[in-house]
């Protein structure tokens, strides 16, 4: 009995098929990633809207512009995020994953400067963040800061720098130094939070627990009071 001859494809055909399969795999994975990213951005947008509507406290109007810490990502009740500890009628304009720079967020241009309209009528504007600028060039942080200050010209502004969240602690000193230098140049008070070692974090080692929010909010309140801003 004659053995059946194995069928072999010419090498060029094999290479073309391999390339096509690789392209298909990359395209499929990219589509899934875009879908996952879009869903995440939608969730962040919903949380941002919900937190913006949850005005807390009474008294002098204060607006806090910030990131996921400001929104309260990871908390059972977004209203308990740290700005709720500030004395006054506090409005939050936050968006998770955002920062000073344009490309800090994967959800489009969500830099802090795009939310300054929320500060209309506020006696004090607190801008808090920087953890999401950890991988952004200094020039982009500077550009975002300039835009922010231009939009808030004439208002009392305080910048609260990034705390040393364990998952990004190695990147914080650079961002912190950049923001401190910018604040000095613009004559804006800067609150350095890198020494606040009593903050507790969720398992992701990036976001605060309820107790962490309470501690952070109290620290910010104490700093603002000490500077005569409350």
First to last CA, the chain: 97
pTM for this structure? Answer: 0.84
Query: CA-CA distance, 111 to 105, in Å (whole number)?
Result: 8
Are 152 and 119 within 8 A, CB to CB? yes
pLDDT at 37: 78
Q: DSSP for 105-139, please give it.
A: SSSSS--GGGGGGGGTT-SEEEEE--GGGTTS-HH
Query: CA-CA distance, 148 to 116, in Å (whole number)?
Result: 7
Q: What is the pLDDT of residues 76-130, one digit of tens each?
A: 999 999 999 999 999 999 999 999 999 999 999 999 999 999 999 999 999 999 9
pLDDT at 28: 45
Query: CA-CA distance, 17 to 1, in Å (whole number)?
Result: 34
- What are the boundaries of each domain within the chain? 38-226
Q: How many CB atoms lie within 10 A of CB 164?
A: 18
Query: CA-CA distance, 131 to 135, in Å (whole number)?
Result: 9
pLDDT in tens, the chain (230 residues): 444 445 565 666 556 556 666 555 545 444 454 557 789 999 999 999 999 999 999 999 999 999 999 999 999 999 999 999 999 999 999 999 999 999 999 999 999 999 999 999 999 999 999 999 999 999 999 999 999 999 999 999 999 999 999 999 999 999 999 999 999 999 999 999 999 999 999 999 999 999 999 999 999 999 999 999 99
pLDDT at 29: 43
Residues 6+ apart with CB under 8 A from 40: 106, 107
pLDDT at 47: 97
Query: CA-CA distance, 193 to 176, in Å (whole number)?
Result: 9
C-alpha count within 13 angstroms, C-beta hemisphere, residue 127:
29
pLDDT at 126: 98
Q: DSSP E strands: which ranges in the chain?
A: 61-66, 89-94, 124-128, 157-160, 190-191
Please check whether the domain covering 38-226 is classified as CATH 3.40.50.80. no
């Amino acid at each position: 009995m004659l053995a059946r001859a194995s069928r072999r494809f010419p090498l060029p055909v094999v290479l073309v098929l391999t390339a096509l399969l690789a392209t298909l795999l990359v395209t499929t994975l990219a589509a899934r990633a875009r879908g996952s990213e879009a869903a995440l951005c939608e969730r962040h947008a919903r949380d941002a809207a919900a937190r913006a509507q949850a005005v807390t406290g009474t008294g002098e109007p204060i607006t806090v512009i910030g990131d996921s810490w400001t929104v309260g990502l990871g908390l059972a009740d977004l209203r308990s995020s740290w700005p709720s500890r500030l004395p006054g009628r506090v409005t939050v304009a936050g968006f998770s994953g955002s920062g000073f720079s344009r490309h800090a967020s994967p959800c489009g241009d969500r830099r802090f400067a795009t939310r300054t309209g929320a500060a209309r009528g506020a006696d004090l504007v607190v801008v808090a963040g920087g953890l999401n600028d950890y991988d952004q060039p200094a020039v982009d942080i500077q550009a975002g800061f300039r835009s922010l200050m231009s939009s808030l010209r004439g208002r009392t502004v305080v910048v609260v720098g990034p705390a040393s969240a364990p998952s990004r602690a190695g990147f914080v000193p650079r961002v912190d130094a950049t923001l401190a230098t910018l604040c000095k140049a613009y004559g804006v008070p800067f609150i350095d939070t890198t020494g606040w070692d009593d903050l507790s974090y969720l398992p992701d080692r990036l976001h605060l627990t309820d107790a962490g929010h309470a501690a952070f909010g109290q620290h910010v309140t104490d700093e603002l009071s000490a500077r005569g801003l409350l």
